[in-house]
Amino acid sequence: DAGVTQSPTHLIKTRGQQVTLRCSPKSGHDTVSWYQQALGQGPQFIFQYYEEEERQRGNFPDRFSGHQYPNYSSELNVNALLLGDSALYLCASSLNRRNYGYTFGSGTRLTVV
């Protein structure tokens, strides 16, 4: 049973560029959340997708956007990259209406230079 799969594992981008990160949820899960984790900090909630719609958002600017597909997979897009966007981006999947059982992927390490 595959867990959460994220791609790519590592990425280097230049300031001002745009990036797309991808996530395939655990089998049977229908909800996908994205988190940003800076070095030495805990993960910070970006947003959550359910039924192909963003239904909750954390304190992140509009440069951060996402999408969920009918097969529940998801993308995180970040525009106009800043040096401060360098972080580990984590995807977590879950079954709707459960506040436990989140499964996290291993993340995408984004470096902005």
Partner 1 sequence: LAKTTQPISMDSYEGQEVNITCSHNNIATNDYITWYQQFPSQGPRFIIQGYKTKVTNEVASLFIPADRKSSTLSLPRVSLSDTAVYYCLVDRSARQLTFGSGTQLTVLP
Note the residues at the interface with partner 1 (CB under 8 A).
4, 33, 35, 40-45, 48, 55-56, 58, 88, 90-92, 94, 96-107, 109
Closest separation between CB of residue 80 and partner 1, Å?
Answer: 25
C-alpha 65/C-alpha 36 separation (Å) is 13
Reading the block at residue 49, the tokens are 């997708």
Closest separation between CB of residue 95 and partner 1, Å?
Answer: 9
Q: Based on CB atoms, which residue is closest to partner 1, 17 or 96? A: 96
Closest separation between CB of residue 37 and partner 1, Å?
Answer: 8
Ramachandran assignment for 40, one of left (phi > 0), alpha (psi -120 to 50 degrees), beta (any other): left
Q: What is the DSSP letter of 41?
A: S
C-alpha 101/C-alpha 17 separation (Å) is 35
Q: Based on CB atoms, which residue is closest to partner 1, 22 or 45? A: 45
